[in-house]
């Protein structure tokens, strides 16, 4: 998917101006065949306004309590699978390097299952995807459907022959 990010700010005089307008290349990893991650914007703490429009500091894929992330995630179709000879150690190292924090929440014994200290607001932009919860309950989501997840254990399953694109807002929360 081609993603373009346009960023604005206010000048000292209060005038709105464009700061940047650029294509945003996807992050791809071997553990998610056919997948793409476009990290649009985020911060690990409350942002102070006015802002100069530069990207706030972020330490990983998931925000800290009080922080946020906004991204597009493309899940490849079921027809794209991992190669049989995939070096899993190297694949996890790549995941950790490109999307820090994601490898730590993935459950190797239950592929795709994960739990995070975030409120996730997910909107299916195109395609369809199954949301699976920890007890095996599933819901099919199609373009226009949204989900609010409150720190729940879950997995995304694209069982179709087409990619699925999700708009994802992650809001850092305190785990209990």
- DSSP letter for each residue of 111-142: TT-B--SEEEEEEEEESEEEEEETTS-EEEEE
26-172: CATH superfamily: Jelly Rolls (2.60.120.10)
pLDDT the model gives residue 88:
86
In the beta sheet, which residues pair with residue 170?
Answer: 69, 120
User: 83-87, 128-132, 146-150: lowest mean pLDDT where?
Assistant: 83-87
pLDDT higher than threshold 90 for residue 150: yes
Query: CB 22: neighbour CB atoms within 10 A?
Result: 10
Report angle CA 66, 70, 76 to the nearest 5 degrees: 135
Which pLDDT tens digit goes with each residue over 75-122? Answer: 999 998 888 888 888 988 999 999 999 888 988 888 889 999 999 999
């Amino acid at each position: 998917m081609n993603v373009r990010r346009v960023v604005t700010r206010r000048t000292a005089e209060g005038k709105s101006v464009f700061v940047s307008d650029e294509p945003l290349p996807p992050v791809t990893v071997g553990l998610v065949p056919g997948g793409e991650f476009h990290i649009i914007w985020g911060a690990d703490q409350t942002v102070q306004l006015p802002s100069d429009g530069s990207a706030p500091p972020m330490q990983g894929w998931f925000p800290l309590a009080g922080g946020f992330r906004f991204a597009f995630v493309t899940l490849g179709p079921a027809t794209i699978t991992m190669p049989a000879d995939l070096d899993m150690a190297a694949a996890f190292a790549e995941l950790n390097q490109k999307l820090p924090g994601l490898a730590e929440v993935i459950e190797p014994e239950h592929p795709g299952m994960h739990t995070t200290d975030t409120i996730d607001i997910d909107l299916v932009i195109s395609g369809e995807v199954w949301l699976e919860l920890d007890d095996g309950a599933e819901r099919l989501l199609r373009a226009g459907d949204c989900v609010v997840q409150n720190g729940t254990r879950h997995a995304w399953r694209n069982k179709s022959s087409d990619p699925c694109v999700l708009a994802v807002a992650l809001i850092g929360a305190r785990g209990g």
